[in-house]
Amino acid sequence: MFNIPLQRAVRTLLAGGLIAYPTEAVYGLGCLPWQHETILRLLAIKRRSWRKGLTLIASNFEQLEPLVILPSGKLRGEILDSWPGPSTWVLNARQGCLPWISGGRDTLAVRVTNHPLARELCEQAGAPLVSTSANRSGQPPLRNVLQIRREFGSELDDIVGGAVGELKQPTTIRDGRSGEFLREG
């Protein structure tokens, strides 16, 4: 169940599973964004309200394009220039798009990841992934497989082993409409 090959993790995702995997700064918990039951399971494991919303990561902007609307002008260029990378942007969501991900808002938090394993998971799954820090609500995010195993054990379907990126803090979050920093990384 632990330190599994990437192809097995992709099969788990496509079958509706919940996995842990390394990201730019911490381990993430994730699934495919349209698997509502799995997302409810994820939220229960984290003890997190769906109203807080969740982040989506992707291997390229094309995976996010059906879900969000980029602003025009200078901010559009700034967003695209920051990807792939550790910059999460809150963008306008397309009409009726995944309210269980957005927390019922008209925006989605999205990132084109530059972490090689997370990026490859999205690439092989052919879709963006829900990506929320691997921790119980209010607890510090976990950074290695041993911590994940101790905290979540059999609550997850698979754990992808690998090193997290070099960031010491979770990724920066910015408002894609104003450019304002919502969380500095």
pLDDT-derived band at 168 (thresholds 50, 70, 90) equals confident
Is 65 a domain residue?
A: yes
Pairing assessment for the beta strands 87-93 and 172-175 based on DSSP bridges: parallel
Is 166 a domain residue?
A: yes
Q: Which helix (H) or strand (E) holds 6?
A: helix 6-14
pTM of the complete model: 0.94
Is 94 a domain residue?
A: yes
- Least-confidence region, from 80-89, 91-100, 124-133: 91-100
Is 168 a domain residue?
A: yes
Q: What local confidence, expressed as pLDDT, does residue 4 receive?
A: 62
Is 134 a domain residue?
A: yes
Q: What local confidence, expressed as pLDDT, does residue 62 receive?
A: 97
CATH of the domain at 24: 3.90.870.10
Q: Is 155 exposed, middle or buried (0-12, 13-18, 19+ CB in 10 A)?
A: middle
The token duo for 61 is 């902007």
| 53-85 pLDDT per residue, tens | 999 999 999 999 999 999 999 999 999 999 999
Is 67 a domain residue?
A: yes
Q: Which helix (H) or strand (E) holds 87?
A: strand 87-93
| 1-46 pLDDT per residue, tens | 444 689 999 999 999 999 999 999 999 999 999 999 999 999 999 9
How many domains in the chain? Answer: 1
Is 41 a domain residue?
A: yes
Is 1 a domain residue?
A: no
Domain that holds residue 56: 6-183
